Structure 1
């Protein structure tokens, strides 16, 4: 049966499944960073580079996959990307040393970039208007289940079987998802809606839209804060406490349900709240969360609690902002949704990866620096939000 004829929920479930491997790869090993650094004989501050080496190709290759999917359809591009991801996981297991861990992470990111790009395009293939906001909210909620469970699982696997067991798990997940998508996934972009416009003119066409550029800026700034928090959380908590990797994994996932709640709010209120109202509410969460992380750094007794509480509020804002800004950005482009989705996902992840590389060059990463950087990211969101032009119809107040 064609996916185009399936219910919205069925499409959401398949979309969440295809992104699951990439989301788990991003957070599975986070609680085990300190232990991995010891076993690989590198400094603990070097482990965030693994995430950077994953995110940079995850962002870059979305710029390729998106336009290709507009021209040739979603299914062949997705299956090719999943195959590349499996290859990267196998490479890490075959040569378990730090340089190959970075290389394998790069290959993994290059593969999962297909799913990262298409998760935005598939919703635009089927929905528009407030339905697009609602179903993007459902996708955001579902996608967060993987990184919600992954750190707990990763911390347990690391304690029981060592860090390589986490990549055996990712290899198995990649193979399983590839099989399911091969058997069940059908094309969502009919041949009549495809276009043969070259890649660069297609990107120029999308970027010419001023509203799209503002939404893109908000998404890049917010995601940079999220990915920085995820990358340094384990290292900061391990320096400030004597917790094990399993205990750190529990603290790490505490902000994630708030992201889930933010995405759920976007789905529930899509038909009654205006886009701008939801975006300002999301921005308030980003600003308040950043401030708590920053201020709690001045009292060692409150540092870890402030890190978790502030991160939770920041994640709540991000969970609300992501589906709303994504929907608003891709809405004007029914024939270029692959290109628009690639720009959104590619720029966000590439920007996040480059941001990690830059912070890796700082003399020291501590909670005070983290709070300041998060506040800067939230401030950028405010700056992009100030212009009032809307790309989606305003259904509510």
Structure 2
């Protein structure tokens, strides 16, 4: 394969967007239907929230296999296999007659989505190189943020017209269309010098990545930033619909408004990084999330939707700046192991965040205080960035 290019290939970027949308689509489209699902299955709302947490855990853990598979066999065949699994599991969720059956379908759905995510981010690293890939990842994150803006609107309409199960039939249809497009348009990006030695699941394959402190530090930051977004996504329906009494339409409006700010923050993050440098951007991202946590704590007693959503909107900028600065930096040292590195980053970001939020949801915190907790968890990461070790792991020149 030719050397990584600094000029975006519009077709490749479009296909990568198509691949990364599988995960947020599986999370956001049925959010307005969660209270209805809890009623139909006769379970507490936290049990329905488990359908998101289980999906994210599977999404992350599955990448331990998907990453080495993408390095061994290529991005294209692994992406197609993941899409096929996603389509089948969406059909299983569509016909599920119990919450347990739905949870099993969601585990499989996460396994399918993990393959598409790994292949998308590995292909970006393949095609745009160590430095440019961080900016391209920011653009992908911006595209991902369109889903929270549009999917709840679609999910609300589907649920109203055809019932909550129609959300999963839509996911299945999306997978079928994506499979055809990837099969016909996606050209393999795996570099010829990709390391394919050793056993597929050899611990040494992962250790080569995990022993690099630059990766571990930035992957943990991605985990903590993602946990803020996940805590918001899983708590918003309970806080806004069940507790504050918002209609589905009002919930969707607030959700879409936050998504619009998230899109803006993610799309402008590469320009911010280019102008101020990734270290200053990362610093600003963590400071912003800490400020959002303090603001949420101050407004936690106000029983109004704006009091919950304003700190979340502020946090959107911190989230975008952290991921834009940290994700590319985490993958930077691994040109020959991009698939494995992307898989471990996904494990931290998805399974780590999913597990952390699932545990903290059971601590009895109110929805605002849950978000305060996760936002303030970024404080140690900021102190590390200011330390001598942090200055080595993320230099001002990056």
If the length of structure 2 is used for normalisation, what is the TM-score? 0.92
Shift, 1:294, TM fit: 1.8
Q: Aligned to 1:271, what secondary structure does the other structure show?
A: helix
Shift, 1:73, TM fit: 1.2
Give the alignment of 1:248-287 within 5 angstroms: 248-287=251-290
Give the stretch that moved more between structures: 320-329 or 94-103: 94-103
Q: Aligned to 1:352, what secondary structure does the other structure show?
A: helix
Mapped to 2, the partners of 1:132 and 1:44 lie a distance apart of 39
1:385 alignment partner in structure 2: 385
Shift, 1:89, TM fit: 0.5
Give the alignment of 1:213-362 within 5 angstroms: 213-300=216-303, 303-362=304-363
CA offsets per residue over residues 179-227 of structure 1, 9 Å max, x none?
Answer: 1111111110133334223432121111111111110110111111110
Where structure 2 has 5 or more consecutive residues not aligned to the other structure, the ranges are none
Cα pair 2:265 2:320 within 8 Å, conserved: yes
CA offsets per residue over residues 47-93 of structure 1, 9 Å max, x none?
Answer: 11110111111010011111121122111111111111111111112
Mapped to 1, the partners of 2:278 and 2:2 lie a distance apart of 32
1:114 alignment partner in structure 2: 115
Cα pair 1:240 1:304 within 8 Å, conserved: no
Cα pair 1:89 1:171 within 8 Å, conserved: yes
TM-aligned CA distance change 1:384 to 1:14, over 3 Å? farther
Q: Aligned to 2:391, what secondary structure does the other structure show?
A: coil
Shift, 1:42, TM fit: 1.4
1:56 alignment partner in structure 2: 57
Shift, 1:383, TM fit: 3.9
TM-aligned CA distance change 1:31 to 1:277, over 3 Å? same
Q: Aligned to 2:392, what secondary structure does the other structure show?
A: coil
Cα pair 2:3 2:127 within 8 Å, conserved: no
Give the stretch that moved more between structures: 175-184 or 383-392: 383-392
CA offsets per residue over residues 293-352 of structure 1, 9 Å max, x none?
Answer: 22111222xx42121111111122111211221111111110011111111111211112
Mapped to 1, the partners of 2:178 and 2:39 lie a distance apart of 32
2:196 alignment partner in structure 1: 195
1:207 alignment partner in structure 2: 210
TM-aligned CA distance change 1:2 to 1:170, over 3 Å? farther
1:150 alignment partner in structure 2: 151
Shift, 1:385, TM fit: 2.6
Where structure 1 has 5 or more consecutive residues not aligned to the other structure, the ranges are none
CA offsets per residue over residues 230-266 of structure 1, 9 Å max, x none?
Answer: 0011101123322222321221222222222222232
1:161 aligns with 2:162: yes
* Matched residue count: 392
Q: CA RMSD in A?
A: 2.2
Cα pair 1:159 1:246 within 8 Å, conserved: no
Q: Aligned to 2:193, what secondary structure does the other structure show?
A: helix
Mapped to 2, the partners of 1:209 and 1:282 lie a distance apart of 23
Mapped to 2, the partners of 1:156 and 1:330 lie a distance apart of 39
Cα pair 2:76 2:119 within 8 Å, conserved: no
Q: Aligned to 1:186, what secondary structure does the other structure show?
A: coil
TM-aligned CA distance change 1:202 to 1:186, over 3 Å? same
1:92 alignment partner in structure 2: 93
Shift, 1:4, TM fit: 7.7
1:47 alignment partner in structure 2: 48
Mapped to 2, the partners of 1:92 and 1:299 lie a distance apart of 37
Mapped to 2, the partners of 1:63 and 1:124 lie a distance apart of 18
Cα pair 1:2 1:188 within 8 Å, conserved: no
Cα pair 2:4 2:129 within 8 Å, conserved: no
Mapped to 1, the partners of 2:276 and 2:310 lie a distance apart of 27
If the length of structure 1 is used for normalisation, what is the TM-score? 0.92
Cα pair 1:290 1:371 within 8 Å, conserved: yes
1:73 alignment partner in structure 2: 74
2:371 alignment partner in structure 1: 371
TM-aligned CA distance change 1:3 to 1:247, over 3 Å? farther
